């Protein structure tokens, strides 16, 4: 290296201090020569796996860093370094994977890994206060993308080049994510596939890296560590805490050397002698002790018979012969005797008592929600008095199982017990169509399919199943349902809506009762109910195409431009219903609202005090709490303090930070102290949050009740999803009665979505964006067909390349691949066209035989140019894991009864097009849906007149929206659809669509009149 020995030695010392290691005093033999891993002189290319190379990754299109190899005069090694720039909102970084077709590397002979890092601080900061960078090793497994992940971190506390040395003993098994669910949880070092660096989110930055190499000689003694079962040990006053101390060795081999653990109770808020009996002593684990052996330390507490908050008793451990635990155990004497702890008192009194005891810092913590992966350490839950954690999409434990979720949530709740008042966390998750982050859960159809069912009872049952599965994993809060009214299907979130008609969205809000139970919240403490979050308030489904300023998004998070009348009728109406149904939380939209005629221009919803304070809380009487969306306050114009005070003063009660909880809590306290946020506003926010925590029973039962965990993904739950799938299928065309299929027919199945669980589940499934393939257990449509007709000959050729002769009927299942949020926006890499492969499959199969085409998608696909060649067309939406439900209607076990929840356009140029528009000429109108429930109705206009008379009677007796009323209109709809056939015109489509809207609003007679108008227009 072109540096003096003295400079290298000094910088290496800084690196050892950085990682917490101490320079060894032993110098019996010279250290081995370092082993180069990366010199960044051009020997390693930028390339994606399976080839060896450097590659970037991130949570969205803007998050992968930009890398380059650059020549630098100050390069610590050689003449070039790796440089990069980043601006990460979620997560992002880069990896070096070794070639998959060559043997893994063996690093067992080395002590650790080191590299030169160019510090970006303009002035030196105290160690540990700079930006945190995570460094990860890829160990074992088949290759670098199917290996076990081990992680540690360092902080960038210097300016200029410094050498970071990380002993392998510092790496911990990554608990939040493992690509293969983990292998053996042993850092073997004999099968290394590369490394990765995760860069800090929240603000732009740059970095430079050079000279990655292995250093030192392996230290076998450090393969042994001392662990405690938990860090926090709550105990009732007068009880005795048992602190379990164990030894563990790499490979689970017996101890090669003795290990001694000395201990003593020191410090804390409890008083030695008065509150507990001090303990000191030592534990010895002799050589030969089996790995996993444990001893216990007893800490006895005393009763003083006075009501008080929780008190802490740290137990300080000192270890020789092994690596010490990362944290010392902490015994906590539970809070007791205080009014807020009394479950017999009314919730309002409990809230008032607790609120009166809290400091500003504790209140600020309650208003803070952090993403679990953003925690610098689990101890920050108590240090910052955090009120909430969440799992973002794909933020899962390892392994991703229900029991692992419950254990993870419990571990976080346990940390909250170390706070003064032991206020439990409220953990949240986006379970938007079932407990969709959990492998093996029941994945329901997305909301667009539930809307197609037109069945409020189905919506309620799916909500109840979702709540059971979510609560069984210890999570009491679901960021659902989405009550958006999708007005432009170019929007990447349109499948999260129940439909384009606010009356349909309102009708499906029975899902709230399925999730929460009674409207007054009295069921929330049950082990099968969760707190809901009505989102996104208000107008997120109405954003104008091209108005988004978020990254490459075209419509998501854009501007909704509406008249005051349209705002009330279309976008606010579903939230008024949610408040009536008792939704416990409301989440504002990322989007901006521009009410035409008020001369205010667009206002970010997270800053819209008129809507949140004025309309939601005051006019509608919403008494739950308002939670922000992910890092959404950062989009408010102004600096960060302005973002905080504007959003809180506008009525936000809890902020989904989600990564920068340190700055948020500090800023919030500063704004209150300076008088820019009133203390009464803080007290109102915290009272609202505490109210829901008390209603959920979290103070009495903060930990997971796993008695229902066996029901996750159960046959009973899947049966509910299967019914919802069947009822969501919309039969758009059925020339010659192709459907239902006969079990005697020879069927040729093709298309990209016939046999793909990931595609039929869509986004928000296991990961945020979802992915193709078998991501979770379930039944594909092809598998469902084969189960429904086990004796039938059912051939499958994804691309229709197999011979097509000899078959009675073809079923081509086409559509979209998964996406979520703005990544799905049309114009952002997506459109409404089928892929070339899907078009070719449709063309080939439908030219060769009678065919049915199923469109599995989150929104309509443009198929008009092929409609003439297609005998039967089905909108299958995104059915989730239960492909059996699709097979049920294909083979007639259940009838087709679904109706379009959105208008099916003829072209993208028609968008936006919605029921009620003055110009309305779609491919298929809103509400369209043929049925196989009964034979084609007869009677024509005379039958419609008779139906109109019956409708007047039902409506006059208050039964306009009853099951009888819906059945009556279904008969009328069938008469009209038979008359119209495939000759949909503007004259028939407009009144047909409006009839369904009128039915949903209770105007049964008006609906029949519209259908008569459509019938007459059909000629």
Residue 103 CB: number of other CB atoms within 10 A?
A: 8
CA distance 705 to 69: 53
| Confidence band for 29, pLDDT divided at 50, 70 and 90 | low
Please give, one letter per residue, the 3-state secondary structure of 207-226. EEEEEEEEECCCCHHHHEEE
CA distance 602 to 591: 9
Confidence at residue 108, expressed as pLDDT on a 0 to 100 scale = 87
Confidence at residue 126, expressed as pLDDT on a 0 to 100 scale = 61
556 close to 831: Cβ distance less than 8 angstroms: no
Answer yes or no: is pLDDT of 26 > 70: no
Across the range 514-543, mean pLDDT stands at: 98
Q: Enter the tokens of residue 246.
A: 């164990």
Confidence at residue 125, expressed as pLDDT on a 0 to 100 scale = 59
Confidence at residue 20, expressed as pLDDT on a 0 to 100 scale = 36
Element (H, E) at 896: none
| Confidence band for 185, pLDDT divided at 50, 70 and 90 | confident
CA distance 475 to 698: 11
Cis peptide before 988 (omega within 30 of 0): no
Cis peptide before 538 (omega within 30 of 0): yes
Kindly give the pairing relationship between strand 172-173 and strand 53-58: unpaired
Q: Tell me which residue of 821, 718, 734, 601 sits closest to 90, measured CA to CA.
A: 821
Percent of the chain topping pLDDT 90:
84
Answer yes or no: is pLDDT of 334 > 80: yes
CA distance 726 to 458: 11
Q: Enter the tokens of residue 828.
A: 């952002």
Confidence at residue 1, expressed as pLDDT on a 0 to 100 scale = 31
Q: Which residues of 753-772 are buried (b: 16+ CB within 10 A; e: fewer)?
A: bbbbbbbbbbbbbbbbbbbe
| Confidence band for 119, pLDDT divided at 50, 70 and 90 | confident
Across the range 574-599, mean pLDDT stands at: 97
pLDDT tens figures, 723-777: 999 999 999 999 999 999 999 999 999 999 999 999 999 999 998 999 898 999 9
Answer yes or no: is pLDDT of 18 > 80: no
pLDDT tens figures, 803-851: 999 999 999 999 999 999 999 999 999 999 999 999 999 999 999 999 9
Q: Tell me which residue of 855, 1011, 1007, 994 sits closest to 925, measured CA to CA.
A: 994
Confidence at residue 151, expressed as pLDDT on a 0 to 100 scale = 93
Confidence at residue 323, expressed as pLDDT on a 0 to 100 scale = 86
Packing angle, helices 456-472 and 715-728, rounded to 10: 150
Sheet with 388-391: strands ordered across? 477-478, 426-429, 388-391, 368-371, 655-656
Phi-psi category of residue 716: left, alpha or beta, with phi > 0 → left and psi -120 to 50 → alpha: alpha
* Residue carrying structure tokens 């209607």: 889
CA distance 143 to 52: 11
Answer yes or no: is pLDDT of 27 > 50: no
Q: Tell me which residue of 292, 436, 301 sits closest to 776, measured CA to CA.
A: 436
Specify burial of residue 888 (Cβ count, 10 A radius: 0-12, 13-18, 19+). Answer: buried
Angle value at C-alpha 641, between 635 and 644, nearest 5 degrees: 60
Answer yes or no: is pLDDT of 13 > 90: no
Q: Enter the tokens of residue 693.
A: 């925590």
Q: DSSP character for 137?
A: E
Element (H, E) at 863: none
To the query of whether residue 489 is one of the catalytic residues in this protein, the response is no
Q: DSSP character for 303?
A: -
pLDDT tens figures, 391-411: 988 788 877 899 999 999 999
* Residue carrying structure tokens 């016939």: 754
| Confidence band for 251, pLDDT divided at 50, 70 and 90 | low
Answer yes or no: is pLDDT of 23 > 60: no
Confidence at residue 259, expressed as pLDDT on a 0 to 100 scale = 96
Beta-ladder partners of 739:
none
pLDDT tens figures, 60-117: 778 899 999 999 999 999 999 999 999 887 789 999 999 999 999 999 889 999 999 9
Please give, one letter per residue, the 3-state secondary structure of 403-458. HHHHHHHHHHHHHHCCCCCCCCCEEEECCCCCCCCCCCCCCCCCHHHHHHHCCHHH
Kindly give the pairing relationship between strand 794-797 and strand 747-750: parallel
pLDDT tens figures, 701-738: 999 999 999 999 999 999 999 999 999 999 999 999 99
pLDDT tens figures, 780-791: 999 999 999 999
Q: Enter the tokens of residue 541.
A: 């489904």
| Confidence band for 33, pLDDT divided at 50, 70 and 90 | very high
CA distance 396 to 394: 6
**Catalytic one of 210, 311, 488, 629:** 629
CA distance 948 to 543: 38
pLDDT tens figures, 959-1012: 888 889 999 999 999 999 999 999 999 999 999 999 999 999 999 999 999 999
Confidence at residue 231, expressed as pLDDT on a 0 to 100 scale = 97
CA distance 426 to 408: 13
Close Cβ partners of 307 (under 8 Å, ≥ 6 residues apart): 336, 337, 338
Confidence at residue 327, expressed as pLDDT on a 0 to 100 scale = 93
* Residue carrying structure tokens 């902080």: 155
Beta-ladder partners of 261:
283, 319
Close Cβ partners of 53 (under 8 Å, ≥ 6 residues apart): 44, 45, 46, 47, 96, 97
Across the range 581-606, mean pLDDT stands at: 97
Answer yes or no: is pLDDT of 166 > 60: yes
Answer yes or no: is pLDDT of 11 > 90: no
CA distance 335 to 343: 14
Q: Enter the tokens of residue 208.
A: 């430079």
Mean pLDDT over each residue of the chain, to the nearest integer? 93
CA distance 787 to 887: 8
To the query of whether residue 683 is one of the catalytic residues in this protein, the response is no
Element (H, E) at 309: none
Kindly give the pairing relationship between strand 80-86 and strand 205-215: antiparallel
885 close to 722: Cβ distance less than 8 angstroms: yes
| Confidence band for 28, pLDDT divided at 50, 70 and 90 | low
Q: Enter the tokens of residue 151.
A: 């992680």
Q: Enter the tokens of residue 799.
A: 């691309």
What count of Cα atoms within 13 Å lies in the side-chain half-sphere of residue 481?
A: 42
Element (H, E) at 812: strand 809-815
Q: Enter the tokens of residue 258.
A: 């003795």
pLDDT tens figures, 168-179: 988 988 877 788
Answer yes or no: is pLDDT of 149 > 70: yes
**Catalytic one of 60, 191, 460, 821:** 821
Q: Enter the tokens of residue 859.
A: 């929104």
pLDDT tens figures, 197-210: 999 887 788 999 99
- Count, residues in the chain: 1019
Across the range 870-889, mean pLDDT stands at: 98
Q: Which residues of 522-560 are buried (b: 16+ CB within 10 A; e: fewer)?
A: ebbbbbbbbbbbbbbbbbbbbbbbebbebeebbbbbbbb
DSSP state string for 755-811: T-HHHHH-SSBSBSS--SS--SS-B-HHHHHHHHSTTS-EEEETTS-S--TT-SEEE
Q: Tell me which residue of 551, 536, 541 sits closest to 590, measured CA to CA.
A: 536
CA distance 597 to 612: 20
Specify burial of residue 802 (Cβ count, 10 A radius: 0-12, 13-18, 19+). Answer: exposed
Confidence at residue 188, expressed as pLDDT on a 0 to 100 scale = 83
CA distance 345 to 593: 42
CA distance 475 to 573: 29
Residue 906 has phi, psi (to 5 degrees) of: -80, -30
């Amino acid at each position: 290296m072109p540096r003096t020995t003295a400079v290298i030695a000094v910088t290496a010392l800084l690196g050892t201090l950085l990682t917490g290691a101490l320079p060894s005093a032993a110098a019996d033999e010279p250290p081995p020569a370092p082993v180069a891993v990366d010199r960044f002189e051009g020997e390693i290319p930028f390339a994606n796996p399976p080839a060896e190379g450097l590659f970037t990754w991130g949570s969205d299109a803007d998050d992968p860093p930009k890398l380059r190899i650059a020549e630098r005069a100050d390069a610590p090694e050689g003449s070039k370094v790796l440089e990069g720039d980043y601006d990460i909102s979620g997560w992002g970084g880069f990896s070096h994977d070794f070639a998959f077709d060559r043997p893994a590397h063996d690093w067992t002979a080395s002590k650790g890994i080191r590299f030169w890092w160019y510090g970006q601080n303009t002035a030196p900061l105290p160690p540990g206060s700079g930006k945190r960078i995570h460094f990860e090793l890829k160990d074992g497994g088949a290759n670098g993308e199917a290996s076990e992940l081990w992680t540690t971190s360092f902080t960038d506390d210097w300016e200029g080049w410094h050498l970071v040395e990380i002993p392998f003993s510092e790496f911990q098994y990554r608990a939040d994510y493992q690509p293969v669910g983990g292998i053996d949880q042993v850092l073997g070092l004999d099968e290394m596939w590369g490394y990765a660096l995760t860069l800090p989110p929240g603000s732009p930055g740059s970095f430079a890296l050079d000279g990655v190499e292995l250093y030192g000689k392996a230290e076998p003694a450090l393969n042994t560590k001392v662990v405690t079962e938990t860090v926090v040990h709550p105990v009732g006053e007068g009880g005795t805490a048992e602190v379990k101390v164990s030894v563990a060795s790499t490979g689970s081999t017996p101890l090669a050397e003795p290990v001694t653990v000395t201990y003593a109770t020191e410090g804390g808020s409890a008083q030695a002698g008065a509150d507990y009996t001090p303990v000191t002593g030592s534990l010895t684990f002799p050589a030969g002790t089996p790995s996993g052996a444990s001893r216990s330390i007893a800490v006895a507490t005393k009763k003083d018979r006075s009501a008080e908050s929780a008190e802490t008793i740290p137990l300080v451990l000192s270890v020789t012969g092994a690596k010490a635990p990362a944290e010392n155990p902490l015994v906590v004497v539970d809070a007791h005797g205080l009014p807020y702890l009394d479950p017999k008192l009314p919730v309002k009194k409990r809230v008032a008592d607790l609120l009166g005891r809290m400091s500003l810092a504790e209140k600020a913590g309650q208003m803070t929600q952090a993403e679990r992966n953003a925690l610098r350490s689990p101890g920050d839950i108590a240090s910052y008095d955090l009120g909430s954690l969440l799992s973002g999409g794909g933020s899962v434990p390892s392994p991703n199982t229900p029991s692992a979720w419950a254990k993870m949530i419990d571990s976080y709740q346990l940390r909250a017990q170390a706070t003064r008042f032991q206020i439990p966390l409220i953990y949240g998750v986006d379970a938007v169509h079932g407990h969709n982050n959990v492998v093996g859960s029941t994945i329901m159809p997305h909301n667009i399919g539930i809307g197609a069912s037109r069945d409020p009872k189905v919506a309620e049952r799916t909500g109840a199943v979702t709540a059971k599965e979510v609560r069984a994993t210890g999570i009491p809060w679901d960021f659902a349902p989405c009550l958006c009214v999708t007005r432009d299907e170019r929007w990447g979130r349109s499948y999260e809506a129940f439909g384009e008609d606010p009356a349909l969205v309102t009708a499906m809000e029975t899902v709230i009762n399925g999730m929460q139970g009674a409207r007054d919240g009295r069921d929330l403490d049950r082990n099968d109910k969760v707190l809901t979050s009505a989102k996104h308030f208000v107008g997120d489904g109405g954003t104008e195409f091209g108005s988004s300023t978020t990254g490459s998004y075209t419509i998501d998070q854009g501007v909704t431009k509406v008249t005051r009348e349209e705002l009330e009728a279309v976008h606010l109406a579903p939230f008024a219903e949610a408040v009536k149904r008792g939704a416990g939380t409301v989440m504002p939209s990322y989007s901006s609202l521009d009410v035409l005629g008020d001369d205010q221009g667009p206002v970010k919803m997270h800053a819209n005090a008129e809507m949140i304070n004025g309309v939601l809380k005051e006019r509608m009487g919403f008494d739950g709490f308002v939670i922000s969306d992910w890092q959404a306050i950062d989009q408010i114009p102004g600096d960060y303090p302005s973002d905080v005070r504007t959003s809180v003063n506008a009525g936000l009660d809890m902020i989904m930070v989600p990564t920068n909880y340190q700055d948020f809590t500090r800023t919030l306290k500063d704004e209150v102290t300076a008088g820019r946020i009133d203390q009464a506003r803080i007290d109102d926010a915290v009272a609202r949050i505490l109210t829901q925590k008390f209603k959920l029973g979290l103070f009495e039962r903060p930990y997971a009740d796993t008695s229902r965990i066996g029901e996750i993904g159960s046959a009973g739950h899947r049966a509910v999803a299967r019914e919802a799938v069947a009822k969501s299928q919309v039969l758009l065309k059925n020339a010659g009665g192709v459907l239902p299929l006969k079990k005697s027919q020879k069927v040729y199945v093709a298309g990209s979505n016939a046999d793909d669980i990931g595609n039929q589940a869509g986004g928000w499934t296991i990961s945020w964006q979802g992915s193709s393939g078998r991501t979770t257990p379930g039944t594909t449509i092809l598998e469902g067909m084969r189960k429904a007709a086990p004796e039938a000959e059912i051939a499958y050729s994804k691309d229709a390349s197999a011979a097509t002769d000899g078959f009675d009927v073809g079923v081509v299942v086409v559509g979209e691949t998964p996406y979520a949020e703005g990544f799905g926006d049309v114009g952002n890499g997506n459109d409404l066209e089928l892929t070339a492969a899907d078009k070719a499959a449709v063309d080939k199969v439908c030219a060769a035989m009678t065919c049915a085409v199923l469109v599995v998608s989150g929104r309509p696909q443009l198929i008009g140019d092929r409609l003439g060649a297609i005998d039967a067309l089905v909108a299958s939406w995104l059915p989730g894991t239960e492909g059996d439900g699709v097979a049920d209607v294909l083979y007639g076990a259940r009838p087709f009864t679904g109706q379009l929840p959105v208008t099916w356009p003829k072209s993208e140029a028609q968008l936006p097009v919605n029921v009620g528009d003055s110009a309305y000429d779609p491919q298929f109108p809103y509400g369209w849906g043929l049925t196989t429930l009964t034979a084609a109705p007869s009677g024509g206009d005379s039958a419609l007149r008779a139906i109109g008379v019956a409708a007047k009677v039902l409506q006059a007796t208050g039964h306009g929206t009853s099951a009888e009323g819906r059945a009556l209109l279904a008969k009328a709809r069938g008469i009209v659809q038979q008359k119209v056939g495939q000759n949909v015109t503007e004259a028939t489509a407009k009144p047909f669509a409006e009839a369904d809207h009128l039915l949903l609003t209770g105007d049964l007679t008006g609906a029949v009149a519209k259908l008569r108008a459509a019938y007459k227009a059909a000629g």
